[in-house]
Amino acid sequence: MATFSEIKNRVKDTLNPFINPSILEGIYHLNILSLNKLSKSFVFTEFFVVLNFLFFNRDVLSKKGPMSVTIYGIIVSLIALLLSRHALKSTTRPYSAYRSLPIIYYGLMLLFGMFISYYHYVRGNQMLIFFAIVFCLVNFIVMPPLAGIITTLSSFLLFYILLYGYDKASHIKLINYCVLAIITAIGSVHKFRRQAAELERIHRIETMNEMLQNVPVHDNLTDLKNRYALRDDFNSYQNHHIIVLMLDIDEFTKINETHGANIGDAILKEIGNLIKKHLTYSHSYRYGSDSFLIILQDIELGDALQKLSIWERSMATLTVPGLNEKIHYTSGYSHGTPRDEDEMRLLIEAADRKRREYF
């Protein structure tokens, strides 16, 4: 059973979680984008409402409230639209400098919804505007959990007080109203945490991609590519007929132990030189510590075998200073036309399975 201290920490983490500053900046950016779209949509919608008042429902103009509140909403949204456009175009200030703007718009538009719904309530009509605006703002504007809970619950409370002052909110079922307020507040918290988690995931992917981009793709010893480069080259082999050759140096660990790492490095370097000279330079890889992967692209099998025969003869006469024994290797090959990355991997696996066969 959780202790009081653990429960307190969980509540604190829920209401005020630690968010990486770069993630917060992403949330602020999303809020500015949402604010720009919301305010633009509201101005457009309320413009037609005003036209409706002027041409089809002129009796509303003689009543207090609807027209002036509508104009208020348009003005607030126009200001929000201009400020959000400025924030999106600004290159000198971070989005965090505008972090209060969506919350201010949230509060001002809630007032708009309260007044319109109150106007409908006292006339016995459905008061959907307030709830529609609350749900719209909660779905589009991401607020920190504590701010979201306070803003949402206080707006419901103020609206209820307004209705209570008119007729003790006799047409409102309090329990349903409270449940709706709580669910909306929970939705606001969930929206923040889900958005923060999504941005965190994107941030991790971007960080990993950046790290992978900085991983060396070239083997300095042999002057060949390495297996990281192979991953990047996969797409270039798709829908091309290729021959995949895999080879390992026999007892390479023993050579290193007996003659030293310098001799082992010299062997690898000389083999790399022969691969570049007789097989291919741009499609050869040092695949492991003592293994190589060569891909011959768009070449007939007979021509490839001829190149391999020349390469084998050069390997048979390969000498390395300080090493008096012959260098042995095992190899295997496969060929095909891979349509995707999975088929490419299957060809490499097939060549690896055959690597104990000699050409």
pLDDT digits 0-9 by tens, 108-117: 999 999 999 9
Domain C-terminal end among 212, 243, 260: 212
Query: Does the residue 4 lie in any domain?
Result: no
pLDDT in tens, 319-340: 888 888 888 888 888 889 998 8
pLDDT for the residue 15: 73
In a domain, 26, yes or no: yes
Q: What is the pLDDT of residue 211?
A: 65
Phi/psi of residue 319, each to 5°? -125, 145
Same domain? For 31 and 164 the reply is yes
225 and 168 fall within a common domain? no
Rounded to whole angstroms, the Cα distance separating 209 from 299 reads 34
Same domain assignment for residues 42 and 166: yes
SS3 256: helix
**Domain end: 190, 212, 234, which one?**
212
- CA nearest to 332, candidates 284, 276, 278, 291: 291
Q: Coil, strand or helix: which one is 136? A: helix
In tens, the pLDDT along 236-256 reads: 899 999 999 998 998 888 888
Residue recorded with tokens 């090493």: 323
Considering the domain architecture, whether residues 244 and 206 belong to the same structural domain is answered as no
Residue type, 114: M
CATH label of the domain that carries residue 284:
3.30.70.270
d(CA 317, CA 270): 12
User: What pLDDT does 359 receive?
Assistant: 42
Alpha-carbon gap, residue 233 to 224, rounded angstroms: 13
Query: Would 359 be classed as within a structural domain?
Result: no
Say whether both 151 and 245 belong to one domain: no
**Residue 210 in tokens:** 């950046």
In a domain, 33, yes or no: yes
Helix axes 301-316, 261-278, angle to 10 degrees: 150
Same domain, residue pair 176 and 222: no
Integer Cα distance of 43 and 55 in angstroms: 18
d(CA 61, CA 183): 37
Task: Say if pTM beats, i.e. exceeds, 0.85.
Answer: no
Domain boundary among 212, 247, 274: 212
Looking only at Cα atoms, what is the longest distance across the chain? 108
Instruction: Kindly state the average pLDDT of the residues 59-75.
Output: 82
What pLDDT, in 10s, does the model give residues 259-315?
888 998 999 999 999 999 889 888 999 988 889 999 999 888 788 888 888 888 898
Q: Across the chain, what does the average pLDDT equal?
A: 86
Task: Let me know whether 174 and 63 are in one domain.
Answer: yes
Say if residue 301 is in the same domain as residue 202. Answer: no
Are 193 and 319 in the same domain?
A: no
Statement to judge: residues 226 and 208 lie in one domain? no
The tally of domains found in the chain comes to 2
For residue 256, give its domain range: 218-353
Q: Do 341 and 230 fall within a single domain?
A: yes
Task: Round to whole Å and give the CA distance between 60 and 69.
Answer: 12
Banded pLDDT at 204 (limits 50, 70, 90): confident
232 and 206 in one domain? no
Which tokens in the block code for residue 68?
């002036």
The encoded tokens of residue 278 equal 């007789």
Concatenating the DSSP letter of every residue in 66-89 gives HHHHHHHHHHHHHHHHHHHHHHHH
Look at residue 44 and tell me whether its pLDDT is greater than 60: yes
